[in-house]
Structure 1
């Protein structure tokens, strides 16, 4: 698996874990352990996303710079063989 895909999968794992913690915290808002986990995962996700964007380009359109040409469309699309 390429470094790009490893990093992207890690971001997906963080997203999944954060969503599950969000659901838990909705019903257990005073759980300090879950809140600490949430904050730690948020920080790890931010670092992973920042690293991904810096190395491989934006994941979402709002992560691109506003310079021309529009960099969001640079590189292979997710469904193209080169992207996987």
Structure 2
């Protein structure tokens, strides 16, 4: 199954991946520097960014997460967009 998606799809996926990468790195840093106020502020900023990007993605392209973490449109639309390893 090779689906071609509009350029906005790929841009949004790239933005989500970049922000989530920053969150992983900040989480690891904060595990060893829990009192770094500025890092905590950055972490919270990127959490908000991640949620907003994922909300935008789901509004435009459908569910991003499985097992009840994302709503689905009707009819079931889980396979309407390419899987991450297909892009």
Q: Same fold (TM over 0.5)?
A: yes
| Alignment correspondent of 1:7 | 12
Show structure 1 runs of 5+ residues with no match.
none
Show structure 2 runs of 5+ residues with no match.
1-5
- Alignment partner of 2:78: what SS? helix
| Count of matched residue pairs | 78
| Alignment correspondent of 1:51 | 56
More RCO (CA 8 Å, sep 6+): 2
Residues 1:68 and 1:7: Cα distance change in structure 2 (over 3 Å): closer
Deviation at 1:20, TM superposition (A): 0.3
Contact kept? 1:64, 1:71, Cα under 8 Å: no
TM-score for both structures, normalised by structure 2: 0.79
How far apart, CA to CA, are the structure 1 residues paired with 2:51 and 2:21? 14
Q: Point out the structure with the larger helix share.
A: 1
Contact kept? 1:64, 1:72, Cα under 8 Å: no
TM-score for both structures, normalised by structure 1: 0.82
